[in-house]
Amino acid sequence: MVRQSLPHAHRSLHFRVANAKGRAAQYAPAIVAHRGPILFLVEPVTSAGARRSIERLSRFLDQHSPEIVLAIVTADADIDRMPHESYDEIYGVSAIPRLTARIREQDPDGILLPFEKPRR
């Protein structure tokens, strides 16, 4: 993101997400990038920690603003395994430059560009 001149911050925001028991759990996204009122959160998801991360991210999406775009980055081979409800956008590790370009090119005053989720 630095190489593509995209301003961002690491773990700069903190959210509360209700867990399965209804208790508030802390969530600090790995990367935060603002494009006007649109907020992009980028979260790496490894196959080793996927189940727990997916549950937290799915709950986060259910509980927070639609002006927040949650993008996950995972191994290219794992893209088709990630449930659609756990992200707004998904990118393989090889597509990180495309993710960065997508955020940078988003018009801060325009409508959010659609993202087609992979078909299974």
**Distances in Å between the alpha carbon of 25 and those of 19, 30, 43, 85?**
6, 16, 16, 19
Nearest-angstrom CA–CA distance, 65 and 98: 24
Place of tokens 């799915």: 58
Helix (H, G, I), strand (E, B) or coil at 99: helix
pLDDT at 120: 66
Confidence (pTM) = 0.86
pLDDT at 75: 94
Backbone angles phi, psi at 45, to 5 degrees: -130, 115
**In the chain, what is the straight-line distance between the N-terminal and C-terminal CA atoms, in Å?**
29
Confidence of residue 64 (pLDDT cuts 50, 70, 90): confident
**pLDDT higher than 70, residue 49:** no
- In tens, the pLDDT along 75-113 reads 999 998 899 999 999 999 999 999 999 998 898 888 887
